[in-house]
Amino acid sequence: MPDEIRTYLVGRSNKSVACDIALSERETSVSRKHLELTVTASGRCYIVHVHSQNTTQVQGRDGAWAPISQDYVDFDTPLMLGSYQTTARKLLALLQTPSPSPPLPPAPGGGQVEWDPERGTFVTR
């Protein structure tokens, strides 16, 4: 089976915004919808800053912080979301897993449709 691209919305926890990776509501420098983090089929990490006010910055090899709108980053490159320092690897470790839900009715043609957390989608079994 080919690898899939997975994109996660990262932001501050809020009942009205469903982020895949939700940071504490106390992290007020992080926007409710701050960035999208995509893990590509080849295993690379691509980030897109989605909020216009609170910046996303990347720390360069010289230690200086630079604003970023979108680019590939290493999983362990230091990132600054507002004033919250992290890495893509640490963000992915916070990934919210969907709570178990009741099984769905059988899919057309037979089989059961259920959530596959590893693939991040519904599958027919």
Task: Give CB contacts under 8 A, 24+ apart, made by 88-94.
Answer: 88/37, 88/45, 88/47, 91/8, 91/10, 91/21, 91/37, 92/8, 92/21, 92/37, 92/39, 94/21, 94/22, 94/23
Label residue 4 by pLDDT band (50, 70, 90). Answer: confident
82-125 residue pLDDT tens: 999 999 999 999 985 554 444 444 555 666 555 555 555 555 66
**Prediction pTM value:** 0.72
Half-sphere exposure for 79 (CA within 13 Å, toward CB) = 30
